[in-house]
Amino acid sequence: MRGIRKLMIGLAALAAVPLMAQGPVVAPPAKKVEAPAAPVAKTAAAPVALDKADLEAWLDGYLPYALERGRIPGAVVVVVKDGQVVLEKGYGFSDVAKRAPVLPETTLFRPGSVSKLFTWTAVMQQVEAGKIDLDKDVNTYLDFKIPAYQGKPITMRNIMTHTAGFEESVRYLISSDPKAVMTLKKQMPLALPERVFAPGTTPAYSNYATALAGYIVERTSGEDFDSYVEKHIFQPLGMAHSSFRQPLPANLAPHMSKGYPNVTGKAQPFEMVIPAPAGSLSASGADMGKFMIAQLNDGAGLMKPETTAMMHDYKAPGVGPLNSMALGFYEQWVNGHRAIAHGGDTVWFHSYLWLFPDSDIGLYISMNAPGQAGDAGAVRSALFHKFADRYLPGTEKPGTVDAKTAKAHAQMMVGHYVSSRGSFTNFLSLLGLFGQAQITLTEDGKITFPALDGLGAGARDWVEVEPFVWRDLGTNERLAAVVKDGKVTRFSLDAGSPFMVFEPAPAGTNAAWLSPALMLALAIVTLAALAWPVRALVRRHYKSDFALAGKSRRAYRLSRLFAWLVLAAVAGWFALIAAFSADIGSIGGPLDWLIHLLRILTPIATFGLLIAAVWHLVMTVRDKRRWTMKLGAVLLVLAALPLVWVTLVFHLYGFDMVY
């Protein structure tokens, strides 16, 4: 279960209140965004001068141990300020077997979704050229149609703020097979996911939507996406060690870092990110430094200053006082400073890029393994906060909420929640049941959110600083909820609020009752299935006759036969989840046969069990069998009910292969 939960959070990788009903409002280009109750440092320490000597000494004191402790083979870190590189440095190995060091100038890492910043830059270039309108129906630019949802079309602004309303899409996401790569023209209509939120209402991260933006750039520019980025971004900035192409061009392939599960694991094949504009970039640390400098320098070499300001300074309607989306970037307030940022994760590479426009500072890290227990997330989170505490400190006296009110509010938060980034209309929604997030209380009555604790370097200590706004005393990150009619309707936290919210799990799919009911049902079905051959062997040993005959015998045997079919289906689903967890690419074609088989077998098994169990119960009552057999028949009927329910509400049937 823990592995499944980590997988969902990862997809959710790696993650409040209702958004405002009105449309988004663009911040005036010349006016910087003001800080609304921004998180700040815990102390009023004086800033340390950001120079190469101090920075290198500080990083050398932090990162080698952090990587070793997390069992991560290698990393690259780049820091820029005032249009210059302060430091670019590699740590550890790009190839463990060869003991090849990470070279910041030439070693390529996979920054994952940090690639999206290049896609958004390409979009803004097309906006500047008058070829894309941020608020126009995107169907205007497409050669296939995306149906309206609740009468509302998708706009590019929705896409760039992750509010297009798409559910998660993973079938055509990532693979180790080069044959899995396909053109955007083919993929976009083929992989179109269902929309589950009205556009502009709910942040829900979408790789598909980003790839759709890349496809629109192709169509408005007349150039394929890879060539467009090379011509209009890489070449103007002198990024000679960067490419979106998969596999890598021959001149860059020798410079590619290996990806690993951890420092003792085997090197893994080059990952194929199928929605390429969403995450297929390979780039050296030095090249990422050039990109950061250009973005901080009003888009110099890429866009006009007013276009850059439109992109950076925009603030989408968000989750209460928490961080929200700019256009493509998501903001991360720290110590009173507004960073615009983006994280990125493939299976093996884990990265983050932060820009501090008010201080003209950029920070980038990429690591070539998730490490032990996903420690790459904690390493980069701690780097961000500790870097800010040292070089960009701030002060604030946070508010307080009286103990009685805080205790009552914390109690209101307790429960199971569903992430807006997930699957809702296909069989992968089953993962949402196993990975359902939960807020509980500590011994002293504070809220705790264990599902995301692994993304931080230390334990969380949430203290309510204003009504339904909590602050973690370790990082100063906030968690906020919206309450209507005395009930929590949404919450999120600063690290994920720009692109993800959590809503109370619906009663019908709430893991609080459904998980134990499902486990109990499976236990009963397992006992019933095993008892069938065991009783037969016992009767054979003692040469006893079977007490049931005719229809009663057929009903009994059918109920046990379907019990075995249920167990076979359950085993199949766990095998599929295990394969998916080990290799996300396996679910995009190689295991189609198993998916089809399970979606046929599961409804036959569960509905068949329910019908056969009811028949067996009727025959048991009619024949006036002893109470133990009647009890067993009743329990089997009750066990079949949650199995049928799960089959229906988690869509474990059908033939649609868009998921």
Q: Is the pLDDT score of 1 beyond 60?
A: no
Q: Which residues contact 202 (CB under 8 A, 6 or more apart)?
A: 19, 163, 165, 420, 501
pLDDT value at residue 22: 29
CA nearest to 342, candidates 334, 350, 330: 330
pTM value surpassing 0.85: yes
Residue whose token pair is 């002060």:
395
CA nearest to 563, candidates 618, 516, 601, 608: 608
Q: Check if the beta carbon of residue 607 is closer than 8 Å to that of residue 644.
A: yes
pLDDT value at residue 396: 67
Chain-centroid distance of CA 569 in Å reads 27
Write out pLDDT tens, residues 526-547. 999 999 999 888 888 888 888 8
Write out pLDDT tens, residues 446-463. 999 987 776 666 678 999
CA nearest to 119, candidates 274, 233, 284: 233
Beta bridge partners of 101: 93
pLDDT value at residue 45: 67
Rounded to whole angstroms, how far apart are CA atoms 43 and 33? Answer: 24
What are the domain boundaries of the chain? 2-391, 403-507, 509-649
Which is more confident, 27 or 80? 80
Q: For 342-367, what is the mean pLDDT?
A: 97
**CA angle centred on 237, ends 236 and 240, rounded to 5°:** 100
pLDDT value at residue 46: 76
Rounded to whole angstroms, how far apart are CA atoms 570 and 63? Answer: 44
pLDDT value at residue 36: 39
pLDDT value at residue 8: 39
Which is more confident, 318 or 377? 377
Residue 238 pLDDT grade (very low, low, confident, very high; cuts 50, 70, 90): very high
Write out pLDDT tens, residues 400-447. 899 999 999 999 999 999 999 999 999 999 988 988 999 999 999 999
User: CATH class for domain 2-391?
Assistant: alpha beta
pLDDT value at residue 580: 81
pLDDT value at residue 13: 36
Q: Check if the beta carbon of residue 248 is closer than 8 Å to that of residue 229.
A: no
pLDDT value at residue 457: 61
Centre a 10 Å sphere on the Cβ of residue 22 and count the other Cβ atoms it contains. 8
Question: Residue 86 carries which side chain, given as an amino acid letter?
Answer: V
DSSP 627-640: HHHHHHHHHHHHHH
Q: Which residues contact 513 (CB under 8 A, 6 or more apart)?
A: none
Write out pLDDT tens, residues 163-209. 999 999 889 999 988 999 999 999 999 999 999 999 999 999 999 99
